């Protein structure tokens, strides 16, 4: 696809959102004011209509494949194994939702700062700023310590519907400080999620977790509407997966609650072992396994380097068809798991209470 900086033509938009109506029919929506007004750009003797990146979300809301659901959904990407695709899928899902006019907040929970770097873009610099503090972005820890307001820790991206709270070294301090909380399992809910939900600014909060258990991750999982676990189709991931799900079961038993889960087989390769692992996942997790496994591809990386979704970068690629199907399924699952639940539901007598706060954001 051409550079998105130059904007998007009808045929590019049609590819991205799977639009099947004709160009003239699409233009008629613009003439009526049902979608944003395009810029007219001269191309030879004719002029063509070009929409900007910022205009895409409202087009996506009307013509896209992901439909809006109610309330703020918290979705966490977590597995105990590194390199299974948590960060790329969290990023792709977040950006694709945002391109459908859903307001999305990404919270990075990995001190490797991978998703923060994707969202911010790698800045080439050959000298340090005058004030070294300028290198450090406030994040969850500074909000927790009340050094900054939650809304001030949120950073914007090139898409008006996509924001993020950056990861920083304070995540390690947050981990330690949660030990001193009276009710650490509810800490994320109390200090962040309940405030964000009360604020009502976001449709989705997407958490990109690091691959190990800890106080912060436990508390994030406890508050999540859905745990999404990308599982790489290889033997070493399969081995850790057994331990992971048994630890998860212990965690649920201790807290007397059950987390809704969704498993995505990733990095599928064209060899016997990889297909065998896939078939194990499909059998073992039959009720919660994505219908579409994701094949190993460079397209996800290529898009990521450009800070784009595959939807913007390569909407004609086979992996995009698979991602579209996957994200549709994920949104359906989320609708189902949160259907009868209010996001702030308290536990019953046997479990810990989820604290609500109406404190200033």
Ligand X SMILES: Nc1ncnc2c1ncn2[C@@H]1O[C@H](COP(=O)(O)OP(=O)(O)OP(=O)(O)O)[C@@H](O)[C@H]1O
Which residues would be at the binding site for ligand X (CB under 6 A)?
82-89, 110, 114, 211, 266-267, 294-297, 300-301
HSE, side-chain direction, 13 A CA sphere, residue 133:
1
Cα separation values, 136 from 133, 153, 191, 208, 315, Å? 5, 11, 21, 20, 35
Query: Which residue number, 74 or 290, has a Cβ lying nearer to ligand X?
Result: 290
- In three-state form (DSSP H/G/I as H, E/B as E, the rest C), the secondary structure along 151-169 is HHHCEECCCCCEEEECCCC
Is the Cβ–Cβ distance between 209 and 78 less than 8 Å? yes
Q: Nearest approach, Cβ of 184 to ligand X (angstroms)?
A: 23
User: Residue with structure tokens 């004609």?
Assistant: 316
Give the one entry of ligand X, Mg ion, none that residue 168 binds, where binding means its C-beta sits below a cut-off of 5 to 8 angstroms depending on kind: none
Written as one string, the DSSP assignment of 111-154 is TT-HHHHHHH-PPP-SS--SSGGGG----HHHHHTTSS-HHHH-
Nearest approach in angstroms of CB 93 to ligand X is: 11
148 burial type by CB count under 10 A (0-12 exposed, 13-18 middle, 19+ buried): middle
| Closer Cβ to Mg ion, 101 or 114, answer by number | 114
Q: Which does 100 bind (CB under 5 to 8 A by kind): ligand X, Mg ion, none?
A: none
Q: State the Cα–Cα distance between residues 251 and 236, nearest whole angstrom.
A: 23
Site string (30-69) toward Mg ion, x via CB under 5 A: ----------------------------------------
- The nearest distance, CB 95 to ligand X, in angstroms, is 14
Instruction: Report which residue's Cβ sits closest to ligand X.
Output: 85
DSSP per residue, 233-256: SSHHHHHHHHHHHHHHHHHHHHHT
Q: Which residues are CB-neighbours of 328 under 8 A, at least 6 positions away? A: 65, 66
Tell me the closest approach of the beta carbon of residue 39 to ligand X, in angstroms. Answer: 33
> How many residues at the interface with Mg ion, by CB under 5 A?
3
How does strand 155-156 pair with strand 73-77?
unpaired
Q: What is the secondary structure of 298-315 as a DSSP string?
A: SHHHHHHHTT--HHHH-T
Cβ(63)–Cβ(101) below 8 Å: no
Cβ nearer to ligand X, comparing 78 with 192:
78
- Residue 170 contacts which entry, Mg ion, ligand X, none (Cβ below 5-8 A, type-dependent): none
- The listed partner (Mg ion, ligand X, none) that binds 88, CB under 5 to 8 Å by sort, is ligand X
Q: How far is the CB of 173 from ligand X (least distance, A)?
A: 20
Nearer to ligand X, 52 or 317 (CB): 317
Report the residue closest to Mg ion, judged by CB. 87
- Cβ closer to ligand X: 112 or 246? 112
**Cα–Cα distance, 273 to 298 (Å, whole number):** 21
Beta carbon of residue 266, minimum distance to Mg ion (angstroms, whole number): 12
Q: How far is the CB of 56 from ligand X (least distance, A)?
A: 23
Residues 6+ apart with CB under 8 A from 169: 111, 136
Cβ proximity to ligand X, 94 vs 267, nearer residue: 267
Please state the closest distance from residue 301 (CB atom) to ligand X, in A: 4
Q: Which does 83 bind (CB under 5 to 8 A by kind): Mg ion, ligand X, none?
A: ligand X
Binding mask 113-142 for Mg ion (x = CB under 5 A): -x----------------------------
DSSP assignment of 51-116: B-GGGHHHHHHHHSS----SS-EEEEE--SSTTSSHHHHHHHHHHHHHTTT--EEEEEE-TT-HHH
Print the binding letters for residues 73-112 with Mg ion: x by CB under 5 A, - otherwise.
-------------xx-------------------------
Which one-letter DSSP state was computed for residue 296? P
Nearer to Mg ion, 114 or 241 (CB): 114
Closest to Mg ion by CB, 18 or 211: 211
Cβ neighbours, 10 Å, residue 6: 11
Q: Provide the minimum distance between the beta carbon of 178 and ligand X in the complex, in angstroms, as a whole number.
A: 21
| Residues binding Mg ion (CB under 5 A) | 86-87, 114
């Amino acid at each position: 696809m051409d550079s998105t900086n130059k904007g998007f033509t009808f045929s590019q938009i049609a590819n991205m959102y799977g639009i099947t109506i004709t160009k003239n029919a699409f233009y008629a929506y613009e003439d009526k004011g049902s979608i944003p007004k395009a810029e007219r750009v001269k191309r030879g003797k004719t002029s063509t209509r070009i929409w900007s990146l910022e205009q895409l979300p409202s087009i996506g809301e009307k013509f896209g494949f992901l439909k809006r659901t109610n309330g703020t959904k918290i979705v966490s990407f977590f597995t105990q194994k590194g390199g299974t695709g948590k960060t790329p899928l969290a990023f792709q899902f977040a950006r694709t939702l945002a391109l459908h006019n859903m307001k999305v907040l990404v919270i990075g929970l990995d001190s490797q700062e991978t998703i923060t770097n994707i969202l911010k873009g790698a800045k080439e610099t050959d000298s340090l700023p005058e004030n070294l503090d300028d290198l450090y972005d406030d994040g969850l820890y500074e909000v927790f310590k009340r050094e900054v307001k939650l809304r001030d820790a949120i950073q914007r991206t090139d898409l008006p519907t996509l924001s993020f709270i950056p990861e920083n070294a304070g995540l390690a301090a947050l981990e330690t400080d949660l030990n001193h909380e009276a009710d650490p399992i509810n800490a994320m809910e109390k200090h962040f999620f309940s405030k964000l939900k009360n604020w009502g600014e976001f449709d989705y909060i997407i958490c990109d977790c690091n691959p190990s258990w800890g106080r912060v991750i436990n508390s994030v999982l406890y508050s999540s509407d859905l745990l999404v676990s990308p599982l790489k189709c290889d033997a070493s991931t399969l081995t850790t997966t057994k331990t992971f799900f048994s630890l998860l079961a212990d965690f649920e038993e201790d807290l007397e609650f059950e987390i809704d889960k969704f498993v995505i087989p990733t990095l599928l390769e064209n060899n016997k072992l990889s297909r065998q692992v896939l078939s194990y996942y499909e059998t073992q997790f039959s009720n919660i396994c994505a219908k579409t496994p994701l094949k190993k591809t460079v397209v996800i990386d290529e898009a990521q380097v450009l800070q784009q979704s595959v939807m913007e970068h390569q909407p004609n690629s086979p992996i995009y068809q698979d991602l579209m199907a996957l994200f549709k399924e994920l949104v359906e699952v989320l609708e189902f798991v949160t259907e009868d639940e209010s996001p702030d539901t308290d536990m019953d007598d046997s479990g810990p209470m989820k604290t609500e706060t109406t404190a200033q954001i």
